[in-house]
Every structure is written in C-alpha cells, then in structure tokens.
Amino acid sequence: MIKVGIVGGTGYTGIELIRLLYAHPQVEITAITSRSEVGKSLSELVPSFFGLSDLKFQEPTLEVLAQCELIFFATPNGTAMKIAPQLLDAGKRVVDLAADFRIKDVATWEHWYGETHACPELVTEAVYGLPELNRAAIKNARLIANPGCYPTSVMLGLLPLLEKQLVDPTRLIADTKSGVSGAGRGANVGVLHAEVSENFKAYGIAGHRHLPEISAILNTLLPVQQVQLTFVPHLLPINRGIHATLYAFANTDTDDLTALYRERYAHEAFVSVLDAGMHPETRAVRATNHCVISVNRVSKQQIVVLSVIDNLVKGAAGQAIQNMNIMYGLSESLGIDAIGLLP
C-alpha cells in the first residue's frame, strides 16, 4: 500500500483527492492536513464520509508528513514550494496540484504569480504531469507539477495538430469555459449562487496565469518557439466541467483529422475522440478522469476542436492520481476509471 498525505484537504480539489484515494485499492491515506481545521474530523467537514472514515485534520508539519511516502499538495499557489525541498530531501515524492513548478522560466513564474520563488533549483527537475505527453518522465519523477485544468483541456485538444505541424502556431485561439468549482471553495462574492446563476461572463482577458503555462508546453512541440495563443476563460453557471472551443488555421490539406486524433490517442485510457460533427458535453465527463474531444474542419483553412473535462478530476485530482499510478508502476486507470454521472 502507498501511504499518502494530502496537504490542503478542505478545498474542492483536496476533497476530491480524498474521495478518489479512499476507494483506491493500493492507497492508504495516512494524513490529511489543514491549518484552519486542525482536530476536526473529515466527516464533520465532508458529510459524505460520515461512518466511513475516522481521519482527522492535522497541522501540515514535517513530522506529520514524514509518515507518508507521497504527498499531494492541494493548496494555494506558493505553498508547496516552501515545504517540498525538505520532503524531497527526506526521500518523499511530491505531486503539486498548484502552479509552483509548472513554468520552467522562473522569472516568468514570478511575474505572473507576484512573488519570489522559494526553490528555483527544483523547477528544472519537476516533471510536468500531463501523462499523454510526459509519461516516460513521470514514471521516474520525484516531483510532479500537475497541470492546470484549463491547460489540460486546451493542450489535449491541440497536441495532435501541433505535433504534426498541421496548423499555424501563431494563430491559435482557446475560448474556454469553466464551472464555478474552479474558483475554489473560499468565500467570494463573484461565485455566490445569486451572482453566477443565470449568468455567463468572461474574465482574465488581459492576461490569465494559465496562458504562459499553455504556451510554454505547446512550444516544446515545435522546432522553434512560436506559439501565439489568444486565451479567454469564461465562468459557467455549473458546478463542474470545462469546455474548450479551440480554433486553429490549417497549413496543409489533411482531411481525416478524426483519424489523426484517434491514432494519437489510441492507447490513452482517458482520451476519447468522437466522430467529426459530434459535440462533446461536459455532463459526459462529470466526476470522471476522461477528456472527450471532437475535431472538425469547418472550411479549407479553419479547424475547430472541442475538448471537455471535469475540472476537479482530469483537471486536478484525477490527473494527480493518474500520475501517482504511473510513478508506482500501477495500472494507470486504477481508482479513477469511473463512468460519467447522468443526470
């Protein structure tokens, strides 16, 4: 059994991690931590665990986390980087679900996140945890930078086109929408029910922290870094889900794009490619680790890709567990092979 700890177990992502790991046949949740809820039981804060677990929240100290082999950080940006070096020195493995290690250029990270990086020496070592791209490196990693939710949906949608250099990388558009759980569980007027219900809005148009993450990873697919991406996120009045509508301009006459995508993802357990003309829906992936994609050539030049994921699972907790499974040589889908909920 893998003894795991979860730092930041009271937010939506942390709770999702606990939910999925609780049912994982090769995992023992050894510690859950929260600075604000120390001493409270998991079932007291998350009623769905009533009668199932006697775990209590503890302070995220090195002594507590030393009991674990692998530690997940479901914490705000800037938290994992302060503790990860000591955990790694102690022989632990770390999966950070925040952004501390996602961007290799430290100056770029500091610009977008507004603080000095606490351990820049580890940024180079960290493996970007998108299994469909970095599976071999993930296997032997001790530090994983779990991708953001928007980046996961966008990158899986664009990877096949950029890997084959079939589109103009300077004319990419990502029109993305997320459910309100992506904003976190903290009190925020902007995500109150009365503010979000029957409403739809864009945000972060002038610049969003996920833009440099997406651009940097997509640039690694090209011989020369030249990705220029227009990225516009929107807030949907739903709890879960991301829908990315991606626009690209073809530089070849390749017709059967669906076949191209199916070939690229043929051996991926969590990526499904629909027939051309079909439209994936967020409810199809609700509470699952799946990404569903369709790709359509709408004119000789223009390609439209639709990509949907659950922001809390494939966009966060599920992908983190997928990375853990790879790191420990387990079946990649172990513990995260659920089918979507309907309704």
At residue 52, the pLDDT reads 86
Interacting residues of 272 by C-beta distance below 8 A, sequence separation 6+: 265, 290, 291, 292, 293
- Which residue is catalytic, options 68, 119, 149, 291? 149
d(CA 116, CA 1): 37
At residue 124, the pLDDT reads 96
CATH assignment, 2-125: 3.40.50.720
Closest-CA residue to 310 (of 188, 181, 217, 157): 181
Helix (H), strand (E) at residue 244:
strand 242-249
At residue 307, the pLDDT reads 98
Helix (H), strand (E) at residue 27:
strand 27-33
- Identity of residue 64: V
User: Is residue 68 annotated as a catalytic residue, yes or no?
Assistant: no
pTM of the model: 0.96
**What digits encode the pLDDT tens for the residues 87-120?**
999 999 999 999 999 999 999 999 999 999 999 9
At residue 38, the pLDDT reads 92
Mean pLDDT by 10 residues, the chain (343 residues): 96 95 96 92 90 90 96 97 97 98 97 97 98 98 98 98 96 97 81 88 92 96 93 96 97 88 98 95 97 94 97 98 98 96 85
H, E, C per residue of 132-149: HHHHHHHHCCCEEECCCH
**What digits encode the pLDDT tens for the residues 143-201?**
999 999 999 999 999 999 999 999 999 999 999 999 999 888 776 887 888 888 999 99
At residue 324, the pLDDT reads 98
Query: Where do the domains of the chain lie?
Result: 2-125, 150-311
The fold for domain 150-311 equals Dihydrodipicolinate Reductase; domain 2 (3.30.360)
